Structure 1
């Protein structure tokens, strides 16, 4: 299983100048390669290399490996762009957004991530330094730091490319690691049902409620601040709004990591599996009032599910995905299904047997029961694909991941 470890570089002033010049040259070259690709209608790595490789080396002073990575990065960006256009993430065909995305050459920010392979970057994990290629030559003894878990994972499992990234005034290396998966527990004694929500981020069938009220208050505050900055419209306001968005994403990711770690640790400790709802397409299926839309659309439903899934794979805990239909309306005691059973957001009262419980806990118990039935019957669960936890860092189209 591939994970990404992020470490922070601690360069000297001279080293920072060299890194900045290198990143700028690579991304300027990438933007030029993108224009050539559109002009010649050539997006395959090998074919595009014939037209740009020599000039990249001569014009920007890049080495052979760096030039090849710039070309590959550009081709990967167009592969991602085409996929986003096909799936409608950049608007419907014919819309202004779709037309602009499909007709405008991709441009890379001067600080966009640049991939490095083992010929360009070598790690001295024990000394916590790296030797890295720059346009000014090979630069040795660049210090880095990270948490104990990150450093241990890096020392044991690092394999493949690493990305150099400049973000919010700091330098980072994002290293790909091949982490072995634990042997799957094929005989779980039971399942831990997990109900995902907005007011309560996660509720388990054991009755543990991981409340999200504080997170929602912060999210509402951030939403108002973003709207205020967007109305202002100045360059400084846009920069501040961008910093706020990244801060919100980090906060949400941190909360989701902690919740996922807690759930998986409990399942592993008790020898149980985990039952989750298959919430793929939840935003398209659910009709919401206008005040609820921002809250639901700003919460990372898929991210928490992905975190639980990949942490479970690392520890051998089985995960079963169940159909979420009517889990909030079904009585966990007698099985009676009625919309009126859900008295309020937090209260469940069965109209048939009179059973009373917290609504989310009742839902998590139904998820647990469905997970048990699926596992015992041997029926495959409809598990959404778990993306490789990798950072692409390619221009406008990026994905992110990390190790908690």
Structure 2
């Protein structure tokens, strides 16, 4: 499972100046390569390297590996937009790899290549991401935002099947139902509604509509800033929810059971007025957060088929589309009445108990 850890660099004034010059020079090189790629029609990384590698190193005074990363960044951009003359922000994010970036997690320090040579820079990291940095680390993007430097580090979390001993050690199964009206509901009744996210989403949407109608350069910058704030708010919300779920499962020695919602956006149709809300579903992100926190905590996560969990009575097993009426569930067979999402979560937990026990993983 690949996840991204964010760390905040704490450079001195001189180091910050060196990092910024490096970032700007590297992106200038990217633009030079992009101009050539657009004019020549050549987008392959290796052919671009044959054509402009030495020119880039000489003109921009870059090291060998930083030049290779610049070529890779441009080639990746043209894979996505082959018919566009791609433009690169002079202070846009830039990829680093292990040849030009080293981590010393024991003392929270990195050694990073700059135009002025290698710099050893301290960093700070939140609890959620510190454990990720102990895993195998891949490419990291150097980001400059609001006068601060960050590294977004790709980390590979290990996955493993549950052994027979793991199965025997489990004392229960905590089902989690994820949805639109409620972000998450557990089989024992905990619930996190989407009301606050909906309010924020609507505010951001109204603000975006206003700024897009203005269309000035400053309005476009504000649009970018708003997008980042909204994403951070939703990410923080999912971190809070996933931490609570995993902590509860850990305390009870229970497995966490989730529906396999792969492709839910493609399988679900919604009314036009609900599309913005539907597109704001964060099933995959919340699942990722639950999985990696559970993995660190030693708690198994089980995937189950989501079919009919919302229509099946968790009391008698009777399945009928009439059982559910909005947020209410009332069984047409036995009369069992309960919150609809809690009923679904109980069904999910029950399926986990009989499902082939395997830690969920997703590349």
Aligned residue pair count? 359
Give the aligned partner of residue 209 of structure 1: 191
Conserved? CA contact 1:229–1:238, under 8 Å: yes
Give the aligned partner of residue 106 of structure 1: 86
**How far did residue 112 of structure 1 move?**
2.3
Taking the aligned partners of 1:337 and 1:178, their CA distance within structure 2 comes to 40
Q: Superposition RMSD on alpha carbons, in Å? A: 2.8
Taking the aligned partners of 2:55 and 2:241, their CA distance within structure 1 comes to 50
Give the aligned partner of residue 243 of structure 2: 261
Give the aligned partner of residue 144 of structure 2: 166
Give the aligned partner of residue 8 of structure 1: 8
Q: Higher relative CO (CA 8 A, sep ≥ 6), structure 1 or 2?
A: 1
Give the aligned partner of residue 180 of structure 2: 198
Conserved? CA contact 2:177–2:344, under 8 Å: yes
Show structure 1 runs of 5+ residues with no match. 82-100, 388-404
1:272 is aligned to 2:260: no
1:354 is aligned to 2:354: no
Give the aligned partner of residue 288 of structure 1: 270
TM-score computed with the length of structure 2 as normaliser: 0.87
Taking the aligned partners of 1:326 and 1:148, their CA distance within structure 2 comes to 37
Taking the aligned partners of 1:125 and 1:310, their CA distance within structure 2 comes to 19
Provide the secondary structure at the position in 2 that maps to 1:324.
Answer: coil
Taking the aligned partners of 1:127 and 1:370, their CA distance within structure 2 comes to 44
TM-score computed with the length of structure 1 as normaliser: 0.79
Taking the aligned partners of 2:193 and 2:129, their CA distance within structure 1 comes to 28
| 1:154-211 C-alpha deviation (Å, 9 max, x unpaired) | 4x55745433211233211234556666884333333211100122110011111122
1:147 is aligned to 2:123: no
Show structure 2 runs of 5+ residues with no match. none
Taking the aligned partners of 2:136 and 2:62, their CA distance within structure 1 comes to 25
Taking the aligned partners of 1:288 and 1:327, their CA distance within structure 2 comes to 19
Taking the aligned partners of 2:282 and 2:3, their CA distance within structure 1 comes to 19
Aligned counterpart for 1:218 among listed residues 188, 191, 200: 200
Over 3 Å counting, the alpha-carbon distance change for 1:159 and 1:291 in structure 2 is closer
Taking the aligned partners of 2:273 and 2:148, their CA distance within structure 1 comes to 37
1:67 is aligned to 2:67: yes
Over 3 Å counting, the alpha-carbon distance change for 1:267 and 1:34 in structure 2 is same
Provide the secondary structure at the position in 2 that maps to 1:174.
Answer: strand
Taking the aligned partners of 1:298 and 1:153, their CA distance within structure 2 comes to 26
**How far did residue 223 of structure 1 move?**
1.6
Taking the aligned partners of 1:74 and 1:186, their CA distance within structure 2 comes to 48
Aligned counterpart for 2:96 among listed residues 116, 119, 125: 116
Over 3 Å counting, the alpha-carbon distance change for 1:174 and 1:287 in structure 2 is closer
1:26 is aligned to 2:5: no
Deviates more, 1:217-226 or 1:26-35: 26-35
Provide the secondary structure at the position in 1 that maps to 2:140.
Answer: strand
Taking the aligned partners of 1:200 and 1:115, their CA distance within structure 2 comes to 37
Give the aligned partner of residue 345 of structure 2: 364
Taking the aligned partners of 2:107 and 2:295, their CA distance within structure 1 comes to 31
Structure-to-structure mapping, 1:336-351, within 5 angstroms:
336-344=318-326, 346-351=327-332
